[in-house]
Structure 1
Amino acid sequence: MPTYQQLTSLDFAQLNQAVEDWNTTAQRMTELGEESSDGMLAKTRAANWFGMNATASGERIEQAALAFTYAGSQASGIYGVLRDFRDRQKDCQQRLRELSEEAWGKGLSVTPDGQVVARGGNAYTDDNGNQQYRLTDEEVERLYRQGDYSQFQPPELQAEINSIKARIQAVLEESDEFDKAASRALLELAGDDGAPFAMSAYSTLESAERRQGFEDAEEALAIIDKGPTATDEELAHLNELLDSQQNNEYFATHLMSQLPPNKLLLFLGDIYDAEGTGPDDHRAAIIGDMGENLGFVLGLASQSGHAGTDTIQPDMVAAWEDDMVALGGQRVILSDGRQGPYGFQLMSNIMGSGEYSTHYLTNYHEALVSWEQEMSPPGSAWNRTAALYTPITGDAFRLDPMTGLMEATARSPEAAATIFSNDEASEYLLTGRPLEGLPPELGEGGGRAASEAIGNAFLAATTGMNPYDPGALPVEHEDVHRRNLDRGLAITAEAGDDLQPEFREPMAKVFLNHGEEYVQTSGGLDERERPLHKEHLFEVTRQLSRDPDAYALLNSGINAALVESFHHTETFDGEPIDPGDTLSRAGMAVGFLEQARYEALHGELATEESRAVWDARMQYHGWGGIVGQTPYAGDIFQRGVDVWSQKWLDDELERINDGYSLDSKKVSEIRDRQLVALAEEWYEIHPDWAESSESHNTRFGRVGEIHASANLGNNRNS
């Protein structure tokens, strides 16, 4: 794979010259071919030669004439591949330069070796709450040369840094794919030493990718046909083919067209079967990787089939998807006659790694939910019994098919928005699935894997972002995102203390992404000023406040939204308000958050043991550890928000050390540092208005106003 430096500094002079030379060669060879056909070859065929010598001479003349034609075809193919390769690499180079410019505009810099760092000059607060200063640009450059970048990735910029890095990596990978396809095409066009000229198989890089995709797909299908008899080496090669061609639409759609769902499910059932192969860690690792790459490839085919391009077969893809959905509720009978898992279980197990079409995901979801609701209790048949199928990949195989489906849905925000737009679907996913009947499978964070996936899918449905994409940045909200949030709040609020813990952190990220709506609702005095249902918002905030991580994520992030709200001198419905009202609104929001925390933890911290767990988790948190998880709030973290959130964290740690709560203290006393910092920032934004106001023209007056609002805001019904 090319490096960032190699691609951005690539000089196309030699490649341009090669393209021109091969163009000239192709033209000349084509002319010679035409001349030979019209001249020597035509005269040979017109002559009435006979005899052994005449026949032999005629054949040689005909071969020579055709060789010119074939040489022209091959030269044209080489020219076309080189031209397209150059153009695509130039495009990749230009996109890297645009990313560098974008990074610069966000206070970042892309180093010559592709690292993304903060530029020198401005202050930040480190994980321990200590004030630090980035070095000057000259000092930064010196350390760049030494390869030490850790000092230049401050926490408040980490989300943006991660996004730029991920997008740079995607361009480099695309460049590498073009390079490999062009290299393979040129080698095939050149042929072996001494090989005769032949007609070119393709004339552009796209035609090369098409042919390579078809050839590799046929090779992959030949291995799939072997089913459980495929050796480890053959499965490893299949995995290599899937991995190398996972972005080739021609490979993906040809594989899908020749691999009907019943054949795919049988193959998956056979290779995942531990009983048929016996314990084999090496084979299990190969199959795990292969399933993941197969999920990517089929996802690409699904997306391509609904993209409306002339090169893809949309009718075939749609029919394939419908057939797969129809087979989901049937058990797969393995090659040896034993009963395997349901089709939904096998397909969902590979879907978690791919991005599928909205058409497929919505139909699949409807069929899956309908099928599992017929079970008693719903979903109970997904559990494995001792006499039933044992996957070779162990716990990595998800028996609950909702896990893979929801992971795929989260990767397709459009599909997520569509699914959660349905009242019944939202209620079933968020509160309606009876967990006691489902397989108790754990995810990476230790929570229930299916619930974590549902939480991420809801996050995608309300934000328009793919939570699994490190390069994702906030998008402009559409009406469907707000409606899904309203609906989800109502459903989860009604669940109360029964809300699944796995939903807490995704919900905190949703609130960060909708920071303006959160502040306007939690700090709005009048119902018309509140874009969300305040009681629902309070109840869900109370529930996520039961978890130290979700609580820290929400509170630190909302500080950014509070400061942003100082610029919005209007209500959510557009009515103008005084700048002083924005300070009061922020204070009310702080009180709202504090009251939610108090009600959430009043019972949680009743025992000394539970209190110790909470305190340890909160003391572990530093500003850097929190904000690095928050790409959902956009660029508001670039505006010095670490200072305000550090004040919140200081107040939190003092509360833990002193052991006081709302039972004995007012919000204004508990959140004193945070409120003072917010008041000072408000004054920086509205100094002229403050100086003209009798109630805000002194520091004492401003702090008093926000303190009073915070004490008022802790009344959940205000």
Structure 2
Amino acid sequence: MVTFNQLYHARLGSLKNAVDDWTETVKKLQTLEESASNGMLKKAEKADWAGENAGITLPFVKKTAKEFGDAATEAESIRNILRDALAEFKTAKQNLTKVVEDAPGKGIRIDADGTVSHQVHPDRRSKDYDGPEPTEADFDKVRADIKAALDRANDADEVASRALRTLVGKDKNNFSGTDYDSLKQAGRAQDAQDAKAAAKIAAKGDDASAAEIDRLNKYFKDNKGDQYFAERFALEVGAKGNLGYWVDMGDASDGSHLASDNREEIKELQKNWSMTLAAATHSHSPAMEQWKSDVIKSGDDVIRSRGSSAYGFQVMSNLMRYGSYDTKFLNAYGDAVVVAENKMTHDGRIKPGQAWSSGLAPSPRLNWDGKDLGRDPMAGFMEALGHNAKASTSFFNSSIDLTPDNPSDNKKVDAFKYFTEERDWPGDTYEDGFGNKYGYDSLGHALESATTGHAYDAAPDGLRDARTEENAKVMQKVVSFYGSDPKHMHEQGIADSLSKIGTAYIDEFNRSLEQESATAEHEVENSPFGANKDGRSRFGEEYDTALLFTRGDTVDFMSIVAQSEEGHGQLSAAQSLYTASVLDAAGPEPTTGKIDPVDLTDAKTALRIGSEAHGILDYSRMGQIDKDFEKDSEEYNKKVAQTTEWIKFGAGVAIGGGVAAITGGFAPAAVLAPLAVEYVGGAVETYLGTGIDDLSEKYAKKGTDLLKEKSDDLRDEALLMGKDNALIPAESYAYAPGWSDSNRNYVLEELTASVKNSRIHATEDPLPDPYEAED
């Protein structure tokens, strides 16, 4: 393993000399080969051999001549491997050196072991420090560039060392004659060898040993992301072999305990296998196109083992839970599995759960991740969509032809409506019981990627806003459906996903809330909100002035999502950040000069709408708590007090490229909230600076005190604190560096006055009733 220090200080002169020496050796050996072939061998072949010489000497001469040829080939291969390795090491070192040299200009220090830190830590800066202040995005970029350089060097090192061992071989008396014209060719040869070895283990099914499963996992991990290896493995195993393996592994009727005794290893194998096949689907070679077609055609085939069976779609969907599968393949697969389900349910006359178990032997265990057993093929398919935003977006914007063999009958189903509203999601056995919660959970993941443009569990992709017009079309469907009745979110249990989805559109929600009319379809003229840049919307020309959602739709959706603890916390955090960013973008720059009151108009608007939004969120959450818990109970008081704790998120936010990545306690993956600016302005900096720490301490103590109060008093106090929270962006803006004391007081007074009555306005909107489960 090449370390940071080794690569940065690497002296490549010796390797360069080795390449030159082997080049000379190749020339000499080629000369000897030519002499042996055209001289010694030709003369030996023309000689009139008789007796023992005919059976011994001539074959010896031929073998010797061949060895000269093999030696020349092996030497040339060694030279080629060393030459290409040198080029890779040289490029990797140059890239690493550039990262190190550029880091101080960004205010970043890189230690001898590659550790990245502040050049001057914020706590040790003088008051007049005016040097660079790196953002978290800057640190992430430097770390990523270091990793890329090290990965390049290590990849070259691993391929080269393995190739050289292969060239030397185990036969001390013969040259191998292995021919590598490049490091890349050697890598591909190694991939093919690994794929064949992995396929041999897979062919054993559950007759393999635990050690072989470990070895199979190692093949996958060592070749992670290697498309050529992935393709070779997929083709070696075959479409039907791939499906048969997992049915066999989940069938304990043949007496094998391999899977049951090694659950963690099989869980890891499922993930590694899935990611390998995902990489393979991105190949468009004729052989892989046929493989993909065969997988889809096998979807409604029954795949049998000794004592169990499953449909091909059930098996394959469980191998889609990880990795990003090819978009075209996923969409074709999705259409096919919906068509199959429609046939099996006889146009919906029987339930999917019954259809997918009809006519089968006992179902094998197909999913090993600790959730369900994998009987519903739609769950795994939804997970696959959740990892490919392009595929999920196009899928949920599509209609599926249910009778592709008869296109003239126009028998279609809307994909979004089918999966969110019409489909009766089947239950499955899981660790804590039986139900369909994991199916809906996967649906939520797919909707996240379809609306945000990011894989649902991905780290922020360079902290950028990836939303497109097509994403917005899915979002309009989400807002319309899930905002129409609280039961959809609560009964499906996808509040966590809808929270992340709502956070990603907080700018457009603010744009809608600025309208007084609940049904208006166009923005207030010159609105400071929305994803507009230079007056143009990222969602298409129509939305330069048109709203994605009406005020009424926005109030309904935000209110319903905020009934959940996750929704209230995430949307509240995103709202405060967004309001602060609008103040940075639309408010006047901090100054010691005279302020024109007109210049504060957009700032006042931002705070007014932000206050209304917080009111909607707080009153919705309180209403749900009132419905769910008995007043004066310990649980009731705890939940009310928690409505103020979202403020603690501040330390978990990273800013960059016009996006806030909220990571503090809300979700395993970052929740991306759009901002009104592409930089961190004074209000946002102050909000995320020392002020947020002071507020966190204040609210932590206040929350403890609140628990001692009676429920009615507690509720009133919490709502008052919510009102105070709406002022935090205003305080951050007013206390940003650059204001004179008199201007700061004036700005804070003006902004506070604009917020004062806005909270009340939030109660004028008819909010959806809290959810109450039916008996």
Q: TM-score, normalising length from structure 2? A: 0.75
Q: Distance in 2 between matches of 1:493 and 1:205?
A: 57
* Displacement after TM superposition at 1:60 (Å): 4.8
Residues 563 and 97 of structure 1: CA distance in aligned 2, closer, same or farther (over 3 Å): farther
Residues 319 and 62 of structure 1: CA distance in aligned 2, closer, same or farther (over 3 Å): closer
**1:438 matched to which residue of 2?**
427
Matched, 1:538 2:550: no
Residues 58 and 383 of structure 1: CA distance in aligned 2, closer, same or farther (over 3 Å): closer
Q: Distance in 1 between matches of 2:43 and 2:360?
A: 82
Residue 30 of structure 1 aligns to a residue whose secondary structure is helix
Residues 277 and 538 of structure 1: CA distance in aligned 2, closer, same or farther (over 3 Å): farther
Q: Distance in 2 between matches of 1:174 and 1:618?
A: 48
Counterpart of 1:449, as a letter, is: Y
Q: Distance in 2 between matches of 1:646 and 1:717?
A: 35
Q: Which is further off, 68-77 or 633-642?
A: 633-642
Q: Distance in 1 between matches of 2:3 and 2:515?
A: 51
**2:249 matched to which residue of 1?**
271
Residues 32 and 405 of structure 1: CA distance in aligned 2, closer, same or farther (over 3 Å): same
**1:416 matched to which residue of 2?**
392
- 489, 496, 502: which one aligns with 1:499: 489
* Displacement after TM superposition at 1:358 (Å): 0.6
**1:671 matched to which residue of 2?**
723
Q: Deviations over 1:253-277 (max 9, x none)?
A: 1222233322221121111213333
Residues 101 and 684 of structure 1: CA distance in aligned 2, closer, same or farther (over 3 Å): farther
**1:614 matched to which residue of 2?**
639
Alignment of 1:464-483 (within 5 A): 464-470=453-459, 472-473=461-462, 474-483=464-473
Residues 202 and 395 of structure 1: CA distance in aligned 2, closer, same or farther (over 3 Å): same
**1:389 matched to which residue of 2?**
363
- 688, 692, 700: which one aligns with 1:642: 688
Residue 270 of structure 2 aligns to a residue whose secondary structure is helix
Residues 175 and 285 of structure 1: CA distance in aligned 2, closer, same or farther (over 3 Å): farther
- 326, 335, 350: which one aligns with 1:357: 326
Residue 83 of structure 2 aligns to a residue whose secondary structure is helix
Residue 399 of structure 1 aligns to a residue whose secondary structure is coil
Q: Distance in 2 between matches of 1:428 and 1:109?
A: 53
Q: Distance in 2 between matches of 1:362 and 1:388?
A: 30
Q: Deviations over 1:662-694 (max 9, x none)?
A: 996898874335415425516859969x97xxx
**1:378 matched to which residue of 2?**
352
Unaligned runs of 5+ in 2: 127-132, 400-413, 525-529, 531-546, 588-597, 653-661, 768-775
Residues 464 and 17 of structure 1: CA distance in aligned 2, closer, same or farther (over 3 Å): farther
Alignment of 1:575-586 (within 5 A): 579-586=600-607
**1:403 matched to which residue of 2?**
379
* Displacement after TM superposition at 1:391 (Å): 2.5
Q: Deviations over 1:371-413 (max 9, x none)?
A: 3354322344457999823539575643333332222222222
**2:772 matched to which residue of 1?**
none
Q: Deviations over 1:60-105 (max 9, x none)?
A: 5544443333222111111222222333344445555677789878
Residue 639 of structure 1 aligns to a residue whose secondary structure is helix
Q: Distance in 1 between matches of 2:178 and 2:170?
A: 14
Matched, 1:554 2:550: no
Residue 632 of structure 1 aligns to a residue whose secondary structure is strand
**1:528 matched to which residue of 2?**
523
Alignment of 1:6-155 (within 5 A): 6-42=6-42, 44-45=44-45, 60-93=60-93, 110-117=110-117, 120-122=120-122, 134-135=123-124
* Displacement after TM superposition at 1:213 (Å): 1.9
Q: Distance in 1 between matches of 2:473 and 2:497?
A: 17
Residue 341 of structure 1 aligns to a residue whose secondary structure is strand
Q: Distance in 2 between matches of 1:383 and 1:661?
A: 55
Q: Is the 8 A contact 2:309 2:361 kept in 1?
A: no
Matched, 1:344 2:360: no
- 241, 260, 268: which one aligns with 1:289: 268
**1:319 matched to which residue of 2?**
290
Q: Distance in 2 between matches of 1:398 and 1:496?
A: 28
Q: Distance in 2 between matches of 1:247 and 1:328?
A: 26
Alignment identity in percent?
A: 22
Counterpart of 1:10, as a letter, is: A
Q: Distance in 2 between matches of 1:157 and 1:451?
A: 37
Q: Is the 8 A contact 1:556 1:627 kept in 2?
A: no
Matched, 1:701 2:750: yes
Q: Distance in 2 between matches of 1:112 and 1:447?
A: 52
**2:239 matched to which residue of 1?**
261
Q: Which is further off, 516-525 or 648-657?
A: 648-657
Residue 332 of structure 1 aligns to a residue whose secondary structure is strand
Q: Distance in 1 between matches of 2:78 and 2:247?
A: 44
Alignment of 1:163-312 (within 5 A): 172=150, 175-192=153-170, 194-277=172-255, 281-303=260-282, 305-306=283-284
Residue 671 of structure 1 aligns to a residue whose secondary structure is helix
* Displacement after TM superposition at 1:707 (Å): 3.2
Q: Which is further off, 416-425 or 44-53?
A: 44-53
Residues 264 and 186 of structure 1: CA distance in aligned 2, closer, same or farther (over 3 Å): same
Query: How many aligned residue pairs are there?
Result: 667
Counterpart of 1:389, as a letter, is: S
Residues 162 and 385 of structure 1: CA distance in aligned 2, closer, same or farther (over 3 Å): farther
**2:582 matched to which residue of 1?**
565
Q: Deviations over 1:95-149 (max 9, x none)?
A: 5567778987876655443444455443xxxxxxxxxxx3459xxxxxxxxxxxx
Q: Which is further off, 164-173 or 262-271?
A: 164-173
Supply the RMSD in Å over aligned alpha carbons. 4.2
* Displacement after TM superposition at 1:498 (Å): 2.4
Counterpart of 2:391, as a letter, is: A
Q: Which is further off, 229-238 or 54-63?
A: 54-63
Q: Distance in 2 between matches of 1:175 and 1:566?
A: 46
Residues 35 and 182 of structure 1: CA distance in aligned 2, closer, same or farther (over 3 Å): same
Counterpart of 2:390, as a letter, is: E
Q: Is the 8 A contact 1:406 1:454 kept in 2?
A: yes
Matched, 1:457 2:446: yes
**1:149 matched to which residue of 2?**
none
Residues 258 and 566 of structure 1: CA distance in aligned 2, closer, same or farther (over 3 Å): same
Q: TM-score, normalising length from structure 1? A: 0.80
Q: Deviations over 1:694-715 (max 9, x none)?
A: x995532232124344544554
**2:510 matched to which residue of 1?**
519
Q: Is the 8 A contact 1:667 1:711 kept in 2?
A: no
Residues 535 and 389 of structure 1: CA distance in aligned 2, closer, same or farther (over 3 Å): same
